[in-house]
Amino acid sequence: MSAADPLTAAEPAATDDSAAAAAGRPEGGRRSDPGRRDRIIDACLDVIAEAGVAGTSHRRVAEAAGVPLGSMTYHFTGMNELLHEAFTRFGTAESDQFERRMAAASDAAAAAEAVVAIITQDVFDTQRDLVITHELYTLAARDPGFRDITNAWMARSRRALERHFDPTTARILDGLIEGLTIHRALDIEPHGRDVVVDAVRRITRG
């Protein structure tokens, strides 16, 4: 089953939880679990990191979150909504970290060092982040419905860079960050920090 498919016959939507939702009652007649929706979103990201978007299903996410299968249709209209929520949460967290780095820089020189740190320490810091990011890129390239996430992510990055650099330099640096992090993550012989420092200096010193 593809990630965008609805529940199939093997994954029945009619459960105690979903029936309760239709009746306007708490799931299964039990006290509501206010953290359940968040756990499902976080579990979705874990499943994406492990199996990719193509391997992400309602059943797999429910098992990872430790919730009944009916919770998937109770909280989300379908897999597309869940994927959108999960990728939005991931992109927002990454953007927040980016903004903290740039906001802490006191001048242009410190901002250049912050860019180096973003490339060498923050972006794709883990294999999980690498996989989730590239799964988002692939999905957004295929489905325009997800491009609002990537566009918002890029816009926030550029605004953070524009604290210290003109808009053109900020756009170039944003592209450099993207390209060098991918190279560092995927190259079988990744270059060292000195290459990153030199690249950032070449751009920021104009």
Q: Per residue in 67-114, pLDDT tens?
A: 999 999 999 999 999 999 999 999 999 999 999 999 999 999 999 999
- Mean residue pLDDT of the chain comes to 86
Query: For helices 36-51 and 79-104, what crossing angle results, to 10°?
Result: 90
pLDDT (0 to 100) of residue 2: 41
d(CA 204, CA 206): 5
Pick the CATH number of 88-204 from 1.10.357.10, 1.10.3110.10, 3.40.1190.20, 3.40.50.150: 1.10.357.10
Annotated domain spans of the chain: 16-76, 88-204
Residue pair 35/49 in contact (Cβ under 8 Å)? The answer is no
Total-model pTM: 0.81
Structure tokens at 110: 């410190």
Give start and end residues of each alpha helix (H) in the chain: 16-22, 36-51, 58-65, 70-75, 79-104, 108-117, 127-142, 147-161, 167-186, 193-204
Give the residue among 90, 82, 80 at the shortest CA–CA distance from 149: 90
The third-level CATH classification (topology) of the domain covering 16-76 is Arc Repressor Mutant, subunit A (1.10.10)
